[in-house]
Structure 1
Amino acid sequence: MSAIDSLPPLSRVIAEHQLSARKSLGQNFLLDLNLTAKIARQAGDLTACDVLEIGPGPGGLTRGLLAEGARKVLALEKDSRCIPALQEIASAYPGRLEILEGDALEIDPLAHLAPPIRVAANLPYNIGTELLVRWLTPPDWPPFWESLTLMFQREVAERIVARPGSKAYGRLAILAQWRSDARIVMSLPPGAFTPPPKVSSAVVHLTALPEPRFPADAAMLSRVVAMAFNQRRKMLRSALKSLAPDIEDRLVEAGLTPTDRAEQVSLERFCALARVLMS
């Protein structure tokens, strides 16, 4: 493993700071600095960007982002044991790394960041999906971020990019693809991590669209999609019957067949149905 900076290997950092990964925090550390640098490169040219990183742990990806030229990295870390290791990185990259200790679900990072902003993170498994949904459903669009480069369990990554007709297709695919371009850019085996998780992982890159792909009221679209996929084995006329007394007519008006099931319906048709229900 070649060095990407003058700092010691991550295995030594973990040993010196006694940073055993904690399952309760969803931690799985990625120690290969070549891999973390490769993930950082998936975020694109960072030289004119501030980068938000969630759950940096001992700082492997943090170092990759800084080595790749990020203007600034804001690292949110809940585990106080990791702060000294991150402070060592901050000293090696003066003025370019800010560390906030706390829960990413409770901290508003925007006061610490200047546009353009990108998000890059090996997300803790236990909060990854919730954070993604928050970033995809802000009150206003476009969002604060230009792109998200995020590592998930492979199964979650496949749900984000899934197409109609597949078992992975569901609410997460609709939310992601309505407002962004989403693609899997890397796959990582369990053995790349310490400790190795039981599943493979993948990095997803999402680029924010200036406007949603199809017009629709966000709240209505979210309601329709949630109801449809909560009962995905039911026909739409049954799963959505509480939305309108004439739901079959509304489905037909939106270009749908009342006997369709949710996994057969494209994003465009879901948006059409949301518009019909708002009319």
Structure 2
Amino acid sequence: MSIDGLPPLREVIANHDLRAKKQLGQNFLLDLNLTAKIARQAGDLTGCDVLEIGPGPGGLTRGLLAEGARHVLAIEKDARALPALAEIAARYPGRLTVINGDALQIDPLAHLTPPIRIAANLPYNVGTELLIRWLTPAAWPPFWQSLTLMFQKEVAERIVAKPGSKAYGRLALLAQWRAEARIVMSLPPEAFVPAPKVHSAVVHLTALPEPRYPADPAVLSQVTGAAFNQRRKMLRAALKGLHPQIEALLEAAAIPPTARAEEIDLERFCALARKLATARTG
């Protein structure tokens, strides 16, 4: 199946000798029906620039362009993929820019015009780090409107987890504090080449205009870090290093000092962060 007159992805990979490299976290999704479906999860792209990380042979890139993205900026670390991506750029003149480099080292904003969305089948070895960066800019709202990202299913479940579940932790709090997060697709290992050992899932996150509850980001990070680093401990013990009066602050935030981190929802963690910030300055 072709969506754009370009060759099927298996043919592209064979033509350019693009065998996936484990050290680059590569698992290629070759079904153009699936890549187009992922592109559609990003919403109406006709008036948007899209940032894509790790396009590989360009399956999702083709989906994003076919769905009408105004411009796609694709950052690819593997130089072997550049000729294949150049063929896509030629098919969509002026709508695809490819940068060969490490997404962790490149500032994409010089190449993008708002509104901006991010869509990517993220390399497994950098996916979580990139997500955290996008969720923790110096100022909010961020440069992006939405994120449509493929992760290992276990990571996806951590992003959308609710209190009381084993998956619930800092990643859930970070994502849900400033964004609306939901799993929109699940994919089995056999959808990829090579097949990974795990299932995958696509998460769609929409940036909120402001955080759900007020809190200083640095204090909230400190509180949730201390709480979940010792998640088996009661909070009065896990957080005792943050303030001499931590039990009183927990109670003031409507948190039982004997509770454990996974029992506490985002609203009460934010309340505790506010109480702690006030106690430190007062």
Name the residue aligned to 1:151: 150
Residue 201 of structure 1 pairs with residue 200 of structure 2 = yes
- The amino acid across from 2:39 in the alignment is A
| Residue 42 (structure 1) shift | 0.0
Mapped to 1, the partners of 2:233 and 2:3 lie a distance apart of 53
1:267 aligns with 2:262: no
**Matched residue SS, 1:145:** coil
- 1:135 alignment partner in structure 2: 134
1:168-187 C-alpha deviation (Å, 9 max, x unpaired): 00000000000000000000
**Structure 1 residue 3, shift from structure 2 partner:** 1.6
Q: Could you say which residue in structure 1 is the equivalent of 2:167?
A: 168
Matches within 5 A, 1:1-279: 2-279=1-278
1:74-132 deviation digits (Å, cap 9, x = unpaired):
00000000001000000000000000000000000000000000000000000000000
Offset, 1:259: 0.3
Identity %: 77
Letter in 1 for 2:38: I
Find the residue that maps to 1:271 and give its secondary structure: helix
CA distance in 1, matches of 2:87, 2:255: 58
- How far apart, CA to CA, are the structure 2 residues paired with 1:23 and 1:260? 42
Runs of 4+ in 1 over 2 A off after TM superposition: none
- Which whole-Å CA distance do the structure 1 matches of 2:101 and 2:184 have between them? 29
Distance 1:203 1:246 in 2: 42
SS at match of 2:99: strand
Amino acid at match of 1:221: L
> What is the TM-score with the length of structure 2 in the denominator?
0.98
Shift of 1:20: 0.4
The one-letter code matched in structure 1 to 2:69 is: A
Structure 1: how far apart are the matches of 2:124 and 2:222? 26
Secondary structure of the corresponding residue to residue 277 of structure 1: helix
Matches of 1:83 and 1:172 in 2, distance apart?
33
Helix, strand or coil: the match of 2:87? helix
**SS at the partner of 1:73?**
strand
The 3-state SS of whatever aligns with 1:124 is coil
SS of the residue corresponding to residue 222 of structure 2 reads helix
In the TM superposition, residue 17 of structure 1 has moved relative to its aligned partner by: 0.2
Which amino acid is the alignment partner of residue 41 of structure 2? Q
Aligned length: 278
Unaligned runs of 5+ in 2: none
CA distance in 2 between counterparts of 1:235 and 1:111 reads 47
- Distance across 1 between alignment mates of 2:227 and 2:102: 32
